[in-house]
Amino acid sequence: MNARSRPGPLNLITDVGGLLVGNAGDDALKSGVTVLTGDRPFTAAVHVMGGAPGTRETDLLAPDKLVTEVDALVLSGGSAFGLDAAGGVMAGLRAAGRGFAVAGQHVPIVPAAILFDLANGGDKDWTESPYTDLGREALREAGTGFDLGREGAGLGAMTATTMGGLGSASLVLPWGATVGALVAVNALGSATIDGGRHFYSAPWEIGGEFGGLGPAMPSDPAARPVTKADGAAGGGQGASTTIAIVATDAKLSQAQAQRMAIAAHDGMARALVPSHTPLDGDLVFAAATGEVPLSDPVIGALDLGHAAATCLARAIARGVHAARPRPGDLLPCWSDLS
Amino acid sequence: MNARSRPGPLNLITDVGGLLVGNAGDDALKSGVTVLTGDRPFTAAVHVMGGAPGTRETDLLAPDKLVTEVDALVLSGGSAFGLDAAGGVMAGLRAAGRGFAVAGQHVPIVPAAILFDLANGGDKDWTESPYTDLGREALREAGTGFDLGREGAGLGAMTATTMGGLGSASLVLPWGATVGALVAVNALGSATIDGGRHFYSAPWEIGGEFGGLGPAMPSDPAARPVTKADGAAGGGQGASTTIAIVATDAKLSQAQAQRMAIAAHDGMARALVPSHTPLDGDLVFAAATGEVPLSDPVIGALDLGHAAATCLARAIARGVHAARPRPGDLLPCWSDLS
């Protein structure tokens, strides 16, 4: 127990005990897959706010549906083709004897969401979907340590003004629960003000974790910031979507986890402008491992929602901040900006 | 047509042509009602994100339901008792011959949402709901000019750290559409950083419309800001809810209006921390009068969503900024802070 909230030792979603993250990517394809799994099934929920989502196995996450726990969550590039990644993850989990037991079989429950990275300059001329194998490989790589930036589902991700990336952050609450966020940042808009170096997430930054530049004013607060829909590189209408997972070791019902996912969208709104547009599939999964009792059924849930929102805002900025240039990129990285 | 977006002449939601706002309140009750109506029915939709909403006639706003246009939208204090305000508004509209024609009758369509102001120090010891009459009176007061701050549904509203209020703002887009927001700010959290004078909405402020202090950093970015659930005055669990309307003169289907409501929630997330918690009923109505064709079916909708979000963030700050002290208040107003 600590008097103040603070990031966990890794400042990653894997500070939530029992959760593992694996990434796989292909530099020629300029795309990849990120998987979150656990040493055992965990409670999961989802909240979709974008107008153009791409998902698999999300209907079963509604609190009234039979299944309440999942074996993994998948974030993938590749637009709807990337949904095949969940099949690769399922195959790997099945081989390990994991899955929902029904009629003598085990069916791994693997909800997935995708982002659009088909116009990022990578070689998309495949005849058989590469995402099944990338999903299986990402599962094999799953561990507590992983790199941010051009990794997994964030490998080929772009914002309107810089390359995107894979981001993560965590927070340990005074009453003992840990919260973390994991995100592939492929926003229609931008994570920085006027496409410069100052992050919208600045008010939530802890310890200079994404440059420590502090807040700033946009040059014209009345103007809509540039988006991919305005013809930015790698853009075009629909070439977007930021997909995230927020997780906690707190004990939550599936309905409570769904409310944490809803609250976490506030972090996306604060970190990316614009968010939740008709042209993106912005969504947030929530995961809860159930190890830590809520401090209070109401205050505890409130704390978790706010922590999820701020972790997601920080994770988005950290993903963009960590991105480094690769051959064939259509946009600079944040690290290239002066 | 103008090259840059700018607020409309009133910087109120009534810059959207054909829309009228009326307020009624009772200083002893410390509560009131706000009505948005039009010179004719308008397209409406809603998106609810809080965990504790109080609503009436919102199910019929789903795009698959029969009715697509409404005669008025009501924001009211009084918790669920305030839903009676819609009955008063309906009676007034019926007397004026307004309403959805069915079987020789006219049924005014008046969706409503409430906020909780039952613990704000006002005299709540009534035996017959005062909200029906307040609704009828607010409708009588409807016009294009109205005051911000302690008016209508915002009269008795509070945030965690200051009195709340009624806010509004508008923006005229370069392609001719006008967007406006109207909000009764009764947040579980706060509109200002560390409960001080700097608004979270600062990056969206136009022309010093809420003090011009610019952005700031919180003293501890890792800490959850104080909320009413922590025992603030007038608080207690559930003593919250920020309810808003965003409107445009653009021609939108009900589904497009719903997407504008979804996008507008980003403005609430940016203006109030925390938002969208299990303990508030945070929601946004959208209204569209249909006068201005979309500049482009996709870009136009994107523009409207972003404008709705920024108008709402500005309206929230303006409501708090405009509040002035009244006898019996349990918290200071922003104007009292030094």
Tell me how far apart the alpha carbons of residues A96 and A110 are, in angstroms, rounded to a whole number: 14
Contact at CB, A278 and B265, closer than 8 angstroms: no
Tell me how far apart the alpha carbons of residues B47 and B24 are, in angstroms, rounded to a whole number: 25
Contact at CB, B203 and A224, closer than 8 angstroms: no
Q: In this predicted structure, what is the pLDDT of residue A338?
A: 83
Tell me how far apart the alpha carbons of residues A211 and A208 are, in angstroms, rounded to a whole number: 5
Write out chain B residues lying below 8 Å of A221, CB-based. Answer: 203-206, 310
Q: Are strands A69-76 and A112-114 parallel, antiparallel or unpaired?
A: parallel
CB A73 within 8 A of CB A116: no
Q: Are strands B112-114 and B55-56 parallel, antiparallel or unpaired?
A: antiparallel
CB A139 within 8 A of CB A89: yes
Residue A189 structure tokens: 């808009």
Residue A106 has pLDDT above 60, yes or no: yes
Q: In this predicted structure, what is the pLDDT of residue A1?
A: 42
Contact at CB, B224 and A5, closer than 8 angstroms: yes
Write out chain B residues lying below 8 Å of A267, CB-based. Answer: 269
User: b vs e for A111-140, b when ≥16 Cβ sit within 10 Å of the residue's Cβ?
Assistant: bbbbbbbbbbbbebeeeebbbbbbbbbbbe
CA angle centred on A58, ends B278 and B300, rounded to 5°: 80
Whether the upstream peptide bond of residue B108 has omega within 30° of 0, thus cis, is no
Residue B237 has pLDDT above 70, yes or no: no
Looking at this predicted complex, what is its ipTM? Answer: 0.95
Please state the rounded mean pLDDT for residues B327-338: 95
| Per-residue pLDDT tens over the stretch A204-222 | 999 999 999 999 999 999 9
| Per-residue pLDDT tens over the stretch A257-293 | 999 999 999 999 999 999 999 999 999 999 999 999 9
Residue A235 has pLDDT above 70, yes or no: no
Contact at CB, A222 and B5, closer than 8 angstroms: yes
Tell me how far apart the alpha carbons of residues A25 and A117 are, in angstroms, rounded to a whole number: 13
Please state the rounded mean pLDDT for residues A28-52: 97
Tell me how far apart the alpha carbons of residues A219 and A40 are, in angstroms, rounded to a whole number: 49
What string of H, E and C letters represents the secondary structure of A125-189? CCCCCCHHHHHHHHHHCCECCCCCECCHHHCCCECCCCECEEEEEEEECCCCCEEEEEEEECCCC
Q: In this predicted structure, what is the pLDDT of residue B298?
A: 87
Q: Are strands B69-76 and B105-107 parallel, antiparallel or unpaired?
A: unpaired
Of B275, B305, B310, the CB nearest to A266: B275
Q: In this predicted structure, what is the pLDDT of residue B3?
A: 73
Q: In this predicted structure, what is the pLDDT of residue A3?
A: 73
Residue B2 has pLDDT above 50, yes or no: no
Tell me how far apart the alpha carbons of residues B311 and A48 are, in angstroms, rounded to a whole number: 23
Q: Domains in chain A, ordered, with CATH?
A: 13-331 (3.60.70.12)
Please state the rounded mean pLDDT for residues A314-333: 97
- Say what the pTM is: 0.96
Residue B1 has pLDDT above 50, yes or no: no
CB A193 within 8 A of CB A68: no
CA–CA min distance B139, chain A (Å): 32
Contact at CB, B222 and A310, closer than 8 angstroms: yes
